[in-house]
Structure 1
Amino acid sequence: MSRIGKKPVSVPQGVTASVDGQTVTAKGPKGELKFVVNDEVLVKMENGEIAVQPRDQSKEARSKWGMSRTQIVNILTGVKDGFERKLEISGVGYRAAMQGKNLQLSLGFSHEVVYQTPEGITIATPKPTEITVSGIDKQKVGQVAAEIREYREPEPYKGKGVRYEGEKIVRKEGKKK
């Protein structure tokens, strides 16, 4: 039994949610998102809450039950508050700057790395060594942050590179004479 899936999802104030067959739609102050629930899972709207249940007791239906509820919670949270992911840049000469809608990164390469911002995502650079990725879709925000981090992942000897805020880098000891 899914412990997460058993709990009904309450719709927050300021958000309107509707269930049409297998499609859950949420509209809020930040925008609108839709999620199509897998056919193995049954979705119902009752008393301002969204209930999620497996159609039968098969292993596949039970495995998609909790994930479907979590996705619904994520779209409700996204249209109400949005999601944000912060990245830190460390290294001599490493910096980030916005150039129009594109993110320009200096990461120690012989050229500048230019990252084009996808639709529905906002990237800001409050400091040259900080990047803030925000949007209403949690998956998209995480994917964009991972793609930016991928250009120069933090290395274990000096810790230089792009890392998530609060990420601990396991440091290695260098060569000894």
Structure 2
Amino acid sequence: MSRIGKQPVAIAAGVEVNVDGNIVTVKGPKGTLTQELRSPITARVEGGEVLIERAVDSRDARSLHGLYRTLVANMVEGVTNGYSKTLEIVGTGYRATQKGANVEFALGFSHPVIIEPAAGIELTVPSQTKVVVSGIDKQQVGEVAASIRKLRKPEPYKGKGIRYEGEVVRRKVGKAGK
């Protein structure tokens, strides 16, 4: 048995989980998320918990068992608390400003870069050098944060660029360091 897959997913207070065939729908105070399960994996709600089970013991089914259990657990967590990632902007003249729902970045290019959030994603700028990406879908929050980071990755010589909060950038010695 999958160590992760056999653990039940606890349903938090105020969260409603519906299983309709192979589609799991999680509805909570922050919104609704759905996930389709592939054929060897099934889900059922039993006494305040969601149980993810597999019909066969093939290699494919074993790998999907833990995956779908984690995806359902992330959905329950997302509709109750939500997810957020904080990005830090490092560099002289690099900054972000809030323009309504959009965020405008000045990253050393000849033009400002404007990011429009996707549906279900909220971008906030607490200071000029911090951007917070938040939403209920963990995968979508990570994807948007990665696409913002990709605008100007942290470079190894001066460390300038956009990085995740707490990310350590390995620095290289420049020409004078020989």
TM range (shorter): over 0.9
Residue 53 (str. 1) matches residue 53 (str. 2):
yes
Residue 98 (str. 1) matches residue 111 (str. 2):
no
Q: Unaligned 5+ residue runs, structure 1?
A: none
Equivalence for 1:155: 155
Equivalence for 1:76: 76
Of all paired residues, the percent bearing the same amino acid is: 50
Q: Distance in 2 between matches of 1:101 and 1:6?
A: 41
Q: TM-score, structure 1 length as denominator?
A: 0.97
Q: CA deviation at 1:36?
A: 0.9
Q: Distance in 1 between matches of 2:64 and 2:113?
A: 39
The one-letter code matched in structure 2 to 1:143 is: E
Q: Distance in 2 between matches of 1:3 and 1:105?
A: 44
Q: Deviation string for 1:70-126 (max 9, x for gaps)?
A: 000011001000000000000000000111222100001111111111111000000
Q: Distance in 2 between matches of 1:38 and 1:68?
A: 9
Q: Distance in 1 between matches of 2:38 and 2:96?
A: 40
After superposition, the CA RMSD in angstroms is 0.9
Q: TM-score, structure 2 length as denominator?
A: 0.97
Q: Distance in 2 between matches of 1:57 and 1:16?
A: 30
Equivalence for 2:165: 165
Q: Find runs of 4+ consecutive structure 1 residues off by over 4 angstroms.
A: none
Equivalence for 2:15: 15
Residue 33 (str. 1) matches residue 39 (str. 2):
no
Matched residues, number: 177
Query: Which SS does the other structure have where 2:17 is aligned?
Result: strand
